Structure 1
């Protein structure tokens, strides 16, 4: 596997970006894009994980948000919910272009007034092309951080940077010990994500380690 040239952490802002009004109305709620599905040409179903705030206030804000419709809770847990929503317009939908250009979308989370995305960028020209695409749609792109992974020891095992970070944190904090010295909630708080995100990263990272070590 070819390791990425650089990791780009970017901020995307525009008043008509998906859920921007909701993000501004309920800033305590942390929202993360799980994935998107094209149901038919021009129709997108988006799946979001939300946690850390007032779900009633979030639901009320979503109901008034013109960027989405048909919001449905598909997972309702005490600490988080997963929603399926229909995107009402694809005019400001830009992240699929990042994937089309060959960039890998590692995370897409709500920020103060927009979205924070972490991308694997194969070469800087692709990032320039993505910024041009966003500019054509009046979506502002602010590059908050560009860096080469400081330690690529996980690359040969097909681990993403966030998977490696989570596995290392689990090891260092004693989550993998018997008995465990840290709970998944404590691990999630240390990483600043939800427990479901930690669980998913651990499963996917472990799967990649097994596939690229024991099964080779």
Structure 2
């Protein structure tokens, strides 16, 4: 499949599986893979980096979502667990997701979710999407059922967006301006529109964007230019 976009986005939805575990062991990083060949209760392969085995396993034992868990491997600081859910998708999400069939329909789109990181408030997913319309299906669904925050977007085959060294406010300003269409030609959102969304003045936004763009140029394009002749 020829994928067009690579996106990383955060889903804020505290009823997603294993969120309660991530909230209980905040010093650990949890990444999951789902094995769907187990009926309506797919097995979860959970890669845990950081934290102690004892604290992680206590969190598993306390989580209503977890029926059982097995430590199946270890590589350096990362432990791999197999987790059997105690409840199915409907019991876990049915009272919070307006249309579970719409959630299942996302799995049939031209997309591949490669990575899922569990946070104390939801999931951060990284995936490939055939085009912007497919990505917008994910965005629209999670905006209806929680929150969707786009963190990174590149075209397939391009290097990841740099971003190191940007402040959180600069990164947020760039992201919101991009999502609202401020950088499109013609623009679909003015500087004032974006500033209103961020609840700051247009002059503050202008300076924030200028500093962020200057940093990106200095760390990407400028650093690759040959020195000027003396």
TM norm structure 2:
0.57
Alignment of 1:29-68 (within 5 A): 29-40=28-39, 42-68=40-66
Q: CA deviation at 1:121?
A: 0.9
Q: Residue 73 of structure 1 corresponds to which residue in structure 2?
A: 71
Q: What is the CA–CA distance in structure 2 between the aligned matches of 1:12 and 1:151, rounded to whole Å?
A: 24
Q: CA deviation at 1:47?
A: 0.9
Q: Gaps (5+ residues) in structure 2?
A: 94-99, 161-230
Q: CA deviation at 1:141?
A: 2.0
- Give a deviation string over 1:165-209, Cα, whole Å, max 9, x none: xxxxxxxxxxxxxxxxxxxxxxxxxxxxxxxxxxxxxxxxxxxxx
Number of aligned residue pairs: give it. Answer: 150
Q: CA RMSD in A?
A: 2.6
TM norm structure 1:
0.60
Alignment of 1:44-193 (within 5 A): 44-76=42-74, 79-87=77-85, 88-91=87-90, 92=93, 97-135=105-143, 138-149=145-156, 151=158
Q: Residue 8 of structure 1 corresponds to which residue in structure 2?
A: 7
Q: CA deviation at 1:131?
A: 3.0
What's the secondary structure of 1:131's corresponding residue?
A: helix
Q: CA deviation at 1:66?
A: 1.6
Q: What is the CA–CA distance in structure 2 between the aligned matches of 1:44 and 1:35, rounded to whole Å?
A: 6
Q: What is the CA–CA distance in structure 2 between the aligned matches of 1:96 and 1:106, rounded to whole Å?
A: 17
User: Which one has the largest radius of gyration?
Assistant: 2
Q: CA deviation at 1:68?
A: 2.4
Q: Residues 141 and 24 of structure 1: is their aligned pair in 2 closer, same or farther, counting only changes over 3 Å?
A: same
- Give a deviation string over 1:98-152, Cα, whole Å, max 9, x none: 432121112111235322111111011112222333355x243221222224637
